[in-house]
Structure 1
Amino acid sequence: MKLLRVGAKGFEKPAAIDDQSVLRDLSSVTGDIDGQLLGDPVALQTVQSALASGTLPELDADRIGAPIARPGKVIGIGLNYTDHAADIGAAIPERPVVFLKPGTTINGPYDPIELPRGSEATDHEVELGVVIGQRLRDCADPVAALGAVGGYVTANDITERSRNAGEPTWAKGKSYDTFTPIGPWLVTPDEVAEPQSLSLQLWVNGERRQSSTTRNMVAGVGELLVYLSSLMTMEPGDLVLTGTPGGVAAGRLEPKPYLRDGDVVVAEVAGLGRQQTLATGVRG
């Protein structure tokens, strides 16, 4: 299923796209697209059956919001593509690099990216986002860990790199509001046959900046979930950002093409939809 949330910010309705690409209102069968829904197989089956019936009302979407409501945790993975590490002059880590982002960074797939005051080096990072569907703790089997996935999303892990320079962690540069656009849809695992064969692309103002595939990850999705489950309990609705490939602005020649007011950023993961966001704000 392709699940999404539509409507004014803070007042989104749950929705889905049926087999005829018609947007259907799910309000009669679920309160929201969230961890509670993803963690309840019976509720998910109810949604799927209602969608297949063709009886749900059509829905007009003046705005598409983030496809998952209120993630309990947003967990980022750094340096998980060899070309990205090479771009920024970093060594491939022996173990996954883990950082956390606040839930307030979550943004809709067409909502503006707000450049922070004094922004000097706001960068783009297209990523495969993994939404947890079942509680996962101390799992040792990557295949079993994949069974805990509730869905996949296109994500952009926006980073203000000037805030991270000289810092022991990356939290400062990744924590601004709007810095995690996700969507447009959450695609359930039954429609993603192999998460390690998805292409990722990102354009800025029509110029392709990033192009790769998830098969180039250092640690695959299952391995990442195994590792994360040894560090923390992951719960339904949690979001994992699995790392970005090469091509970010930080890895390019001077003057590095960091995001500026008015830049249009398009990010896409194959099968998970394309998002388009506008960078807004006054630099300097």
Structure 2
Amino acid sequence: MPWYGSLVSIDVLDASRNVFKRWLNPMTNIGGIIELDFPLADQVNEGEWTIRAQHEKYTSEKNFTVVEYWAPLWDVNVTMLPRFTDDAFALTGLLQVNYTSGKYVRGNATVLIELRERGPDMWAKPPAALLTKNIVWLDGLADFLVPMEELRQAVPGASLANMDVWANASVYNWFERDTHNGWAFTQIFSAKANIKFLGGTVRTYKPKMYFTAYMVVYTADGRQLLFVANHKVELMVYCDDGAVLLKKFLPISDDSVIQYTFRPSDTTLYSCTTLRLQVSC
């Protein structure tokens, strides 16, 4: 456009020929060039839009197409059990890769297993071990399995019962030619049972009065035992001078709680004023 004269208006018309945006008497530079911009709403009237420029008695129009477009979104979901025991056969996990519409994603994946020893300086030290599992083909769903023996070989001299595990999955979408990531976390605990007394550590007793001790057997992550069978625990009562006053083998109940009641005699009171109970399984 020539530098002399001026534009009367510039209008943006939507697909219904309604005025969406208007600039009145916009100024051009010395070369007759003008540059304007305008944002579109989240929801627009799709179709052929028009930019119309009016200069005195002349009008010029330019059409362009507006369409609403969604980028294909898809997610990687990695699922693992919240805890494993060190006597389990393997560490397992599941990959679910789908579009937000629910359609499955086809591609391949790489799972990086990262082991770190639990402790306050866990992130100050490098990982105890890194293992990689390749999934050459997945159709929305895939799983991975790492034998515990393979994990033990990766951390020689260390116990798996004190490890935190991260599974970081990287999935490549063949259709979108894009890579998304997902992760999951789990912990490995010892399969050995633990036992403790319920109640306070110091309790009073009197001669010829019944005294009841409660004990509970549990796993390292705080759960009760799932299978007790005919397992028993050993309860020993010591005098303050170290002499053994009582030794009993007690069965473990289905709820993992053990109750034992005994009655100190007069001779027990005279011989020792302090009793120490010790239980092992």
> TM-score over 0.5 for the alignment?
no
Higher helix share: 1
TM-score (structure 2 length as normaliser): 0.22
Structure of higher CA gyration radius: 2
The TM-score with structure 1 as length reference comes to 0.22
